[in-house]
Amino acid sequence: MAAGLSLHDVSLQFGGVKVLSGVSFDVEPGSILGLVGPNGAGKTSLFNCISGHYRPTGGSITIDDTEVVGSAPSKLARLGLSRTFQHPALRLNATVLDNVLLGGHTRLPGGPVSWALGLPSTARAERDLRGEALAMLEGAGLGWAAHLPADELSHGLHKGIELWRALLSRPSLLLLDEPAAGLSHGEVDQLIASVRQIRDEHDITVVIVEHHMGLISALTDRVVVLDHGSKLMEGTAAQAQADPRVIEAYLGKDAADDAA
């Protein structure tokens, strides 16, 4: 079941540098929210706070009313959160299938000791997970690549591998960090269709950081615009693209004056 996400007054500071300042917004279960803004706006830093890679210096982050500030990424995975990264973190010498299987470790019974011992229950779970991962790749048209080393595939397919790896954990909340970066026009169109299908078929809430405004316009229900670590506005993609404050943040004051 899709999870709700709420941020209230989230701040982040490294030494004397303020990275995020009082960011608040809600993401409705089952919706797709875009997190946009110019370079240096704090988008990925905010993602890192949500996913447990950074600990905010202030504020609250809840998933389905459970406070998660200070939680390790492994605990957040058990709560249903999964994410991709701007630069796919793959084991390039491992097969595509083995890379996808890394996303299912939270679903295996027991812990590291039982995994190392190869207990029957763990072995059965691993076989089932492998079959599910292979079926997932075949359904995505990537069955042909399942047993190839990941480094033999293109950058665009690396993005796909990371997406399917994230989905194998069966998340209720999925964070996508610039999934369209480096993709061709046709690959972006396929990505849009895939994310819609994933949201609908798997009942997942999606938050996406992206510079590709065509993708944001086509895919999201709402957007939150960040600038210099603060929330600039919230609304639809069309409202954001017409907002003089957003135009100024991206293009400068002269462009905003021309649009007004």
Identify the pLDDT of residue 60. 97
Identify the pLDDT of residue 141. 83
Identify the pLDDT of residue 190. 86
The residue segments making up the domain with residue 99 are 94-169
- Quick check: 113 pLDDT over 70? no
77-112 pLDDT, tens digit each: 888 999 988 777 788 888 889 898 888 777 665 655
201-242 pLDDT, tens digit each: 889 999 999 888 889 999 999 999 999 999 999 999 999 999
Identify the pLDDT of residue 108. 64
Query: What percent of the chain is modeled with pLDDT above 70?
Result: 90
Query: Are 139 and 66 part of one and the same domain?
Result: no
Query: Are 158 and 211 part of one and the same domain?
Result: no
Which residue's entry shows tokens 């939680």?
71
For 18, other C-beta atoms within 10 Å of its C-beta total 16
- Quick check: 48 pLDDT over 50? yes
Residues 188-195, mean pLDDT to the nearest whole number: 88
Does residue 19 sit within a domain? yes
Q: Which of 176, 172, 166, 171 is nearest to 220 (CA)?
A: 176
Extract long-range pairs of 186-192: CB within 8 Å, 24+ residues apart.
187/156, 187/159, 188/212, 188/214, 188/215, 191/159, 191/215, 192/218, 192/219
2-29 pLDDT, tens digit each: 899 999 999 999 988 999 999 999 999 9
CATH number, domain at 213?
A: 3.40.50.300
For 253, other C-beta atoms within 10 Å of its C-beta total 11
Query: Are 155 and 194 part of one and the same domain?
Result: no
Query: What percent of the chain is modeled with pLDDT above 90?
Result: 44
C-alpha 213/C-alpha 211 separation (Å) is 6
Identify the pLDDT of residue 6. 96
Q: Last residue of a domain, which of 124, 144, 169?
A: 169
What is the rounded average pLDDT for all residues in the chain?
86
Does residue 88 sit within a domain? no
Identify the pLDDT of residue 115. 52
- Quick check: 142 pLDDT over 70? yes
- Quick check: 121 pLDDT over 70? no
Identify the pLDDT of residue 255. 47
Does residue 87 sit within a domain? no
Does residue 258 sit within a domain? yes
Identify the pLDDT of residue 254. 45
